[in-house]
Protein backbone atom coordinates (compact mmCIF):
# COMPACT_ATOMS: atom_id res chain seq x y z
CA UNK A 1 0.00 0.00 0.00
CA UNK A 2 2.84 2.35 0.91
CA UNK A 3 4.59 1.66 -2.41
CA UNK A 4 1.39 2.35 -4.38
CA UNK A 5 0.91 5.65 -2.53
CA UNK A 6 4.51 6.63 -3.16
CA UNK A 7 4.12 5.79 -6.85
CA UNK A 8 0.98 7.90 -7.10
CA UNK A 9 2.70 10.81 -5.36
CA UNK A 10 5.59 10.62 -7.81
CA UNK A 11 3.22 10.56 -10.78
CA UNK A 12 1.32 13.51 -9.34
CA UNK A 13 4.55 15.45 -8.82
CA UNK A 14 5.69 14.61 -12.34
CA UNK A 15 2.40 15.75 -13.87
CA UNK A 16 2.50 18.93 -11.77
CA UNK A 17 6.10 19.63 -12.79
CA UNK A 18 5.28 19.12 -16.48
CA UNK A 19 2.21 21.35 -16.19
CA UNK A 20 4.21 24.11 -14.52
CA UNK A 21 6.89 23.83 -17.19
CA UNK A 22 4.25 24.17 -19.90
CA UNK A 23 2.73 27.22 -18.18
CA UNK A 24 6.15 28.87 -17.82
CA UNK A 25 7.01 28.08 -21.45
CA UNK A 26 3.70 29.52 -22.64
CA UNK A 27 4.17 32.63 -20.50
CA UNK A 28 7.68 33.13 -21.87
CA UNK A 29 6.41 32.68 -25.42
CA UNK A 30 3.71 35.30 -24.88
CA UNK A 31 6.23 37.67 -23.25
CA UNK A 32 8.66 37.17 -26.13
CA UNK A 33 5.94 37.84 -28.71
CA UNK A 34 4.86 41.04 -26.96
CA UNK A 35 8.49 42.16 -26.57
CA UNK A 36 9.20 41.53 -30.26
CA UNK A 37 6.11 43.54 -31.20
CA UNK A 38 7.24 46.39 -28.97
CA UNK A 39 10.72 46.63 -30.44
CA UNK A 40 10.20 45.27 -33.95
CA UNK A 41 12.37 46.84 -36.61
CA UNK A 42 10.38 49.21 -38.85
CA UNK A 43 9.80 47.62 -42.25
CA UNK A 44 11.12 50.69 -44.09
CA UNK A 45 14.54 50.51 -42.38
CA UNK A 46 17.05 49.51 -45.06
CA UNK A 47 20.37 50.69 -46.41
CA UNK A 48 19.87 53.82 -48.51
CA UNK A 49 16.74 55.06 -46.72
CA UNK A 50 16.74 58.85 -46.38
CA UNK A 51 14.56 61.82 -45.40
CA UNK A 52 15.27 65.43 -46.38
CA UNK A 53 13.77 68.33 -44.42
CA UNK A 54 13.46 71.95 -45.47
CA UNK A 55 14.64 74.16 -42.61
CA UNK A 56 13.05 77.62 -42.52
CA UNK A 57 14.65 80.10 -40.09
CA UNK A 58 12.70 83.29 -39.33
CA UNK A 59 13.82 86.17 -37.07
CA UNK A 60 13.20 89.95 -36.98
CA UNK A 61 11.73 90.00 -40.48
CA UNK A 62 14.50 87.84 -41.95
CA UNK A 63 14.08 84.40 -43.50
CA UNK A 64 16.74 81.81 -44.32
CA UNK A 65 16.19 78.39 -45.89
CA UNK A 66 18.52 75.43 -45.42
CA UNK A 67 18.16 71.65 -45.54
CA UNK A 68 18.63 68.80 -43.09
CA UNK A 69 19.11 65.15 -44.11
CA UNK A 70 19.47 61.82 -42.38
CA UNK A 71 20.18 58.66 -44.30
CA UNK A 72 21.00 55.05 -43.50
CA UNK A 73 24.40 54.27 -45.00
CA UNK A 74 24.69 50.67 -43.83
CA UNK A 75 22.46 48.06 -42.23
CA UNK A 76 23.89 44.95 -40.61
CA UNK A 77 21.93 42.67 -38.28
CA UNK A 78 20.43 44.83 -35.53
CA UNK A 79 22.52 47.93 -36.25
CA UNK A 80 22.26 50.76 -38.75
CA UNK A 81 24.85 53.40 -39.58
CA UNK A 82 23.31 56.82 -40.19
CA UNK A 83 24.68 60.11 -41.44
CA UNK A 84 23.04 63.35 -40.29
CA UNK A 85 23.56 66.77 -41.85
CA UNK A 86 21.83 69.80 -40.37
CA UNK A 87 21.96 73.57 -40.00
CA UNK A 88 21.40 75.74 -36.97
CA UNK A 89 21.84 79.33 -35.84
CA UNK A 90 24.10 81.20 -33.48
CA UNK A 91 23.28 84.68 -32.21
CA UNK A 92 26.25 86.93 -31.51
CA UNK A 93 26.03 90.67 -30.82
CA UNK A 94 22.49 90.81 -32.21
CA UNK A 95 23.55 89.07 -35.44
CA UNK A 96 22.11 85.69 -36.44
CA UNK A 97 24.66 83.43 -38.09
CA UNK A 98 23.99 80.12 -39.81
CA UNK A 99 25.87 77.07 -38.52
CA UNK A 100 26.53 73.72 -40.16
CA UNK A 101 26.86 70.38 -38.48
CA UNK A 102 27.12 66.70 -39.39
CA UNK A 103 27.53 63.51 -37.41
CA UNK A 104 27.65 59.76 -37.88
CA UNK A 105 25.60 57.43 -35.71
CA UNK A 106 25.29 53.68 -35.19
CA UNK A 107 21.96 52.76 -33.68
CA UNK A 108 20.18 49.60 -32.63
CA UNK A 109 17.18 49.59 -34.98
CA UNK A 110 15.08 47.53 -32.56
CA UNK A 111 15.15 50.03 -29.68
CA UNK A 112 16.70 53.17 -31.32
CA UNK A 113 19.55 53.25 -28.79
CA UNK A 114 22.65 55.02 -30.09
CA UNK A 115 25.50 52.52 -29.79
CA UNK A 116 28.19 54.75 -31.29
CA UNK A 117 28.49 58.30 -32.52
CA UNK A 118 31.10 60.72 -33.82
CA UNK A 119 29.95 62.90 -30.89
CA UNK A 120 30.24 60.68 -27.78
CA UNK A 121 27.69 62.88 -25.97
CA UNK A 122 24.84 61.03 -27.69
CA UNK A 123 25.98 57.45 -27.00
CA UNK A 124 23.34 55.61 -24.99
CA UNK A 125 20.61 58.08 -25.94
CA UNK A 126 17.64 57.32 -28.22
CA UNK A 127 17.55 58.29 -31.91
CA UNK A 128 14.92 61.04 -32.38
CA UNK A 129 13.88 60.79 -36.04
CA UNK A 130 11.45 57.94 -35.60
CA UNK A 131 9.56 56.35 -32.72
CA UNK A 132 7.63 53.15 -32.09
CA UNK A 133 4.16 52.84 -33.65
CA UNK A 134 2.41 51.02 -30.79
CA UNK A 135 1.83 54.30 -28.93
CA UNK A 136 -1.06 56.65 -28.25
CA UNK A 137 -1.87 59.88 -26.37
CA UNK A 138 -0.14 59.73 -22.99
CA UNK A 139 2.51 57.25 -24.11
CA UNK A 140 6.07 58.02 -23.02
CA UNK A 141 8.52 58.88 -25.80
CA UNK A 142 12.27 58.70 -25.21
CA UNK A 143 14.59 60.58 -27.59
CA UNK A 144 17.90 62.31 -27.02
CA UNK A 145 16.16 65.61 -26.25
CA UNK A 146 14.59 63.97 -23.20
CA UNK A 147 11.71 61.76 -22.16
CA UNK A 148 8.22 63.17 -22.68
CA UNK A 149 4.68 62.08 -23.47
CA UNK A 150 2.48 62.32 -26.55
CA UNK A 151 0.15 65.25 -25.91
CA UNK A 152 -2.26 65.07 -28.82
CA UNK A 153 -3.11 63.71 -32.26
CA UNK A 154 -2.80 66.19 -35.13
CA UNK A 155 -2.84 65.78 -38.92
CA UNK A 156 -0.35 67.66 -41.11
CA UNK A 157 0.03 67.96 -44.87
CA UNK A 158 3.49 66.76 -45.86
CA UNK A 159 5.17 64.99 -48.80
CA UNK A 160 2.03 65.46 -50.85
CA UNK A 161 -0.25 63.72 -48.36
CA UNK A 162 -2.21 64.46 -45.24
CA UNK A 163 -0.78 62.32 -42.46
CA UNK A 164 -2.11 61.64 -39.01
CA UNK A 165 0.63 62.42 -36.47
CA UNK A 166 1.39 62.19 -32.79
CA UNK A 167 2.55 65.49 -31.30
CA UNK A 168 5.32 65.60 -28.69
CA UNK A 169 6.14 68.96 -27.08
CA UNK A 170 9.22 70.11 -25.15
CA UNK A 171 9.57 73.33 -23.17
CA UNK A 172 12.80 74.68 -21.72
CA UNK A 173 13.81 78.02 -20.22
CA UNK A 174 14.90 79.70 -23.46
CA UNK A 175 13.52 77.36 -26.10
CA UNK A 176 10.68 75.05 -27.01
CA UNK A 177 10.18 72.28 -29.54
CA UNK A 178 7.29 70.41 -31.15
CA UNK A 179 7.76 67.17 -33.08
CA UNK A 180 5.15 65.50 -35.30
CA UNK A 181 5.56 61.71 -35.70
CA UNK A 182 3.68 59.82 -38.38
CA UNK A 183 1.29 57.39 -36.68
CA UNK A 184 1.68 54.62 -39.21
CA UNK A 185 5.44 54.60 -39.85
CA UNK A 186 6.76 56.35 -36.72
CA UNK A 187 8.86 58.75 -38.80
CA UNK A 188 9.31 62.36 -37.67
CA UNK A 189 7.74 64.46 -40.43
CA UNK A 190 7.84 67.95 -38.96
CA UNK A 191 9.68 69.87 -36.23
CA UNK A 192 9.15 73.38 -34.91
CA UNK A 193 11.68 75.06 -32.63
CA UNK A 194 11.52 78.50 -30.97
CA UNK A 195 14.84 79.87 -29.66
CA UNK A 196 15.41 82.94 -27.52
CA UNK A 197 19.06 83.96 -27.78
CA UNK A 198 20.25 87.36 -26.54
CA UNK A 199 16.72 88.74 -26.83
CA UNK A 200 16.23 87.59 -30.43
CA UNK A 201 13.46 85.06 -31.11
CA UNK A 202 14.32 82.63 -33.88
CA UNK A 203 11.52 80.40 -35.23
CA UNK A 204 12.71 77.24 -36.99
CA UNK A 205 10.35 74.99 -38.94
CA UNK A 206 11.70 71.74 -40.37
CA UNK A 207 9.37 69.86 -42.72
CA UNK A 208 10.01 66.65 -44.64
CA UNK A 209 10.13 67.49 -48.35
CA UNK A 210 11.70 64.38 -49.91
CA UNK A 211 12.18 60.73 -49.01
CA UNK A 212 12.47 57.34 -50.66
CA UNK A 213 10.08 55.92 -48.05
CA UNK A 214 6.67 55.49 -49.67
CA UNK A 215 4.32 56.44 -46.85
CA UNK A 216 1.34 55.41 -48.98
CA UNK A 217 2.07 51.73 -48.27
CA UNK A 218 1.37 52.29 -44.58
CA UNK A 219 -2.21 52.12 -43.47
CA UNK A 220 -3.09 55.71 -42.55
CA UNK A 221 -5.79 54.95 -40.00
CA UNK A 222 -5.35 58.47 -38.73
CA UNK A 223 -6.55 60.69 -41.56
CA UNK A 224 -9.41 62.41 -39.85
CA UNK A 225 -10.16 65.08 -42.42
CA UNK A 226 -9.08 67.97 -40.20
CA UNK A 227 -7.20 70.88 -41.61
CA UNK A 228 -3.41 70.46 -41.64
CA UNK A 229 -1.35 72.12 -38.92
Q: What is the pLDDT of residue 225?
A: 35
Whether residues 28 and 67 share a domain: the answer is no
Helix or strand (DSSP H, E) at 14: helix 2-39
Q: Are residues 28 and 47 in the same domain?
A: no
Q: Residue 224: inside a domain, yes or no? A: no
CA–CA gap between residue 160 and residue 162 (Å, rounded):
7
**Domain shared by 75 and 180, yes or no:** yes
Which pTM was predicted? 0.79
Q: Which pLDDT does position 33 carry in this prediction?
A: 41
Q: Which residues are paired to 179 by β-bridges?
A: 168, 191
Host domain of residue 21? 1-39
Same domain, 7 and 65: no
Question: Residue 72 in contact with residue 50, Cβ under 8 Å?
Answer: yes
Residue-level pLDDT at 35: 44
Verify that 134 and 156 share a domain, yes or no. Answer: yes
Domain count, the chain: 2
Domain CATH code at residue 87 = 2.40.360
Note the pLDDT of residue 9: 63
Profile the chain (229 residues) by mean pLDDT over runs of 10 residues.
57 64 52 46 91 97 96 96 96 86 96 96 96 95 94 95 95 95 96 92 97 80 38
One domain for residues 29 and 87: no
Rounded-to-integer distance, Cα 198 and Cα 76, Å = 45
Residues 174 and 210 in one domain: yes
The reply to whether 100 and 171 lie within a common domain is: yes
Say whether both 27 and 70 belong to one domain: no
Q: What is the pLDDT of residue 10?
A: 64
Let me know whether 53 and 72 are in one domain: yes
**Whether residue 178 sits in one domain with residue 98:** yes
Amino acid sequence: MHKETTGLNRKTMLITTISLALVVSLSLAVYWYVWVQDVAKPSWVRSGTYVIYEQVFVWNGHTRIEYMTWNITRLQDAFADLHLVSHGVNVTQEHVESTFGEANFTINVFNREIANCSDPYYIGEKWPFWIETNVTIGSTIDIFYGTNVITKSQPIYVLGHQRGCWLVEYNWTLSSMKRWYDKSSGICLKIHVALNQQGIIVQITETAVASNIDLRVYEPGAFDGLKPA
